[in-house]
Amino acid sequence: MNIIIPDKNIYDVTFIGAGPVALYGMYYSGLRRTKSKVIDMLGEVGGGLMALYPEKYIYDVGGFPKILAKDLVTGLKEQAVQYEHEICLEEKVLGVEKGSDGIIKLTTSKGEHLSKTVVVCAGMGAYIPKKIDIPNVKELEGAGVFYFVRRLKDFADKRILVVGGGDAAFDYSLMLEPVAKSITHIHRNDFFAAHEDTVEKVMNSSVEMKFPYWELKQIEGDDWVRNVTIVQSKTGETERFEVDAVIFNIGFLTNMGPIEAWGLQIDKNSIAVDSRMRTNIDGVFAAGDIVTYDGKLKLISTGFGEVAIAVNNAKSYIDPKAKVNPGHSSDKHVVTMKKIAREKKKAEMEDQKEV
């Protein structure tokens, strides 16, 4: 027997992932009056910002010289829930399949969802930190060896070694400097993969920078990290000093998980999209760090623009009569002012007739 599912159970747009890009997409979906929901495997919205570094400052979002990740997520959620959306947490999307009727079925760890369109905003997939192969690293993970900083208070008055040359490593040095007893930051290359301004701020702080060619050679400790030995790989010079914590940020191994089996075109561990954020499957769009195209920049600010493009094109896909470009939010104000001006002029003309 065929079961007919009421239209109310079919959403216009379903977002996979509830990170900052998806939250902004939900808000934009509300602007376009599309019924939307978001599905995420984590227990709270915010994606990697909340899971990895809620107390790290974000510097590349318009309107904020700097803002804590958790505060940015709070604002994005408040912006999104102005409209009625369904938020499904602790639910992993396992499969995406488009039916002959054009409706997309999403199979999850808890059941099924139906949607007219889908926007994949899964960030970089699963975040698996890269690790170095030296003794005691694995044994001391969580006992002085860390890959993420979730709470600043955990590092208050600590002697810290930061390892890495990317944005996150430099951000960690910046955010920890006011609370830590001391910070030594080492990098093995003669170049950085971080924004120049962030590097300059760390260089001008109390953080002791050791580069290039400085690498971690040894970690010592019993129930907690006690000492480290670093080496200058070009000269062979070594230094041994006491630390309370070692924070590694030397990159991530990304894992797309079930996404790879959905039939999407994958390019370099990312979903290939066109200028409208369309994937190779009609009705399935993608935005944020999960996507790739010529000139792609993996920034939150870029993701906001991408998801707006995706939602607008999803609206047009659902309703071909709807414009992809709805106009500016100020357009309504302009129309109202013109109407007021016309009514004022009409009233003046009527007054003149009476005279």
Q: Which pLDDT value is given to residue 329?
A: 55
Helix (H) or strand (E) holding 218: strand 214-221
Average pLDDT rounded to a whole number, residues 302-321: 96
Q: Using a pLDDT cut of 70, give the percent of the chain over it.
A: 89
353, pLDDT greater than 90: no
Q: Which pLDDT value is given to residue 144?
A: 95
Whether residue 175 contacts residue 55, with contact meaning beta carbons closer than 8 Å, is answered with: yes
23, pLDDT greater than 90: yes
Pairing of the two strands 159-163 and 145-146 = unpaired
248, pLDDT greater than 80: yes
Question: Which residues is 127 bridged to in the sheet?
Answer: 254
| 91-100: long-range pairs with CB below 8 Å, 24+ | 91/39, 91/40, 91/41, 92/41, 92/258, 93/16, 93/39, 93/41, 93/258, 94/258, 95/258, 95/261, 95/262, 96/16, 96/262, 96/263, 96/281, 96/284, 98/281, 98/282, 98/283, 98/284
1, pLDDT greater than 80: no
Q: How confident is the model at residue 46 (pLDDT cuts 50, 70, 90)?
A: very high
Q: Which pLDDT value is given to residue 52?
A: 82
6, pLDDT greater than 80: no
42, pLDDT greater than 80: yes
3-class secondary structure per residue, 229-260: EEEECCCCCEEEEECCEEEECCCEEEECHHHH
Q: Give the CA dihedral 245, 188, 131, 155, nearest 10 degrees.
A: 20
What are the structural domains of the chain? 7-126+253-318 (3.50.50.60), 131-250 (3.50.50.60)
Q: Among 33-37, 118-122, 132-136, 309-313, name the one with the lowest average pLDDT.
A: 132-136
Type of residue at 344 = K
Average pLDDT rounded to a whole number, residues 161-173: 93
Q: How confident is the model at residue 355 (pLDDT cuts 50, 70, 90)?
A: low
166, pLDDT greater than 60: yes
Supply the mean pLDDT for the chain. 90
231, pLDDT greater than 90: yes
28, pLDDT greater than 80: yes
Q: Which pLDDT value is given to residue 154?
A: 94
340, pLDDT greater than 90: no
The DSSP-derived string for 143-171 is TTEES----GGGGTT-EEEEE-SBHHHHH
Predicted confidence (pLDDT) per residue in 103-148, tens digit = 999 999 999 999 999 999 998 766 678 888 898 999 999 999 999 8
Find where tokens 């934009």 sit: 28
Q: Which pLDDT value is given to residue 2?
A: 40
Q: Using a pLDDT cut of 90, give the percent of the chain over it.
A: 74
